[in-house]
Amino acid sequence: MTAGNNIKFYREKNGLTQKELSQQIHVSRQTISNWENGISYPDIESTVIMSSIFNCSLDELLNRNYALVVKKLRIKKIVQKVNKYGTLLFLIANMITLFINFTIGRKLSWSLIPLASSILVVTFIQTFCRVQR
């Protein structure tokens, strides 16, 4: 759930209208609506006041799916490591293949094609991963 969904959840759980909550925090009702709809986010002072009103922690107010977020972060770190080390191993394997092919055949012409294509693929993947972040 997003922070806006959590604010709405706790507001309704405590039986408050947007207007009542806005009066306690000293903001407009439209501001509460914007928070709940994800158009804008509360500042830290308003967040602390809401956590006190709702009798919940800041973590609970901002993100009730904390375990899910931690899991996603761990998976992201693993993917980054696999991407980093996988790319390195891929390039090393291509270099070994190139070296073996050169020592046996004394030619580089056909060996350069897989190496060059591998470098292009790795470069494309790395660029695509950076764009996704």
Q: Say which residue the tokens 């922690």 belong to.
A: 57
Looking at the fold, whether 82 and 111 belong to one and the same domain comes out as: yes
What angle (nearest 5°) sits at the alpha carbon of residue 38, between those of residues 35 and 44? 45
Looking at the fold, whether 96 and 118 belong to one and the same domain comes out as: yes
Q: Using CA atoms, how far apart are residues 16 and 49, in angstroms rounded to an integer? A: 14
Q: In the structure encoding, which two tokens stand for residue 40, read together?
A: 């804008």
Residue 56 — pLDDT band, cuts 50, 70, 90? confident
What average pLDDT is seen over the chain? 78
Range with the lowest mean pLDDT among 12-16, 40-44, 109-113, 115-119? 109-113
Residue 109 — pLDDT band, cuts 50, 70, 90? low
**Percentage of residues in the chain having pLDDT higher than 90:** 22
CA-based torsion, 14, 20, 24, 30: positive or negative: positive
Looking at the fold, whether 93 and 70 belong to one and the same domain comes out as: yes
Q: The domain containing residue 37 runs over which residues?
A: 3-62
Q: Using CA atoms, how far apart are residues 50 and 61, in angstroms rounded to an integer? A: 8
Considering its fold, how many domains does the chain have in total?
2
| Contact by Cβ (8 Å): 82, 126 | no
Residues near 17 by Cβ (< 8 Å), separated by ≥ 6?
11
Predicted model pTM: 0.48
At residue 28, the pLDDT reads: 94
Structure confidence by residue, pLDDT tens digits, 120-133? 777 777 676 665 55
Looking at the fold, whether 79 and 122 belong to one and the same domain comes out as: yes
At residue 72, the pLDDT reads: 65
Looking at the fold, whether 43 and 90 belong to one and the same domain comes out as: no
Nearest to 87 by CA among 37, 40, 122, 46: 122
Looking at the fold, whether 42 and 70 belong to one and the same domain comes out as: no
Structure confidence by residue, pLDDT tens digits, 29-51? 999 999 888 888 888 899 899 99
Measured CA to CA in angstroms, residue 36 lies from 18, 42, 105, 106 at distances of 10, 10, 68, 68
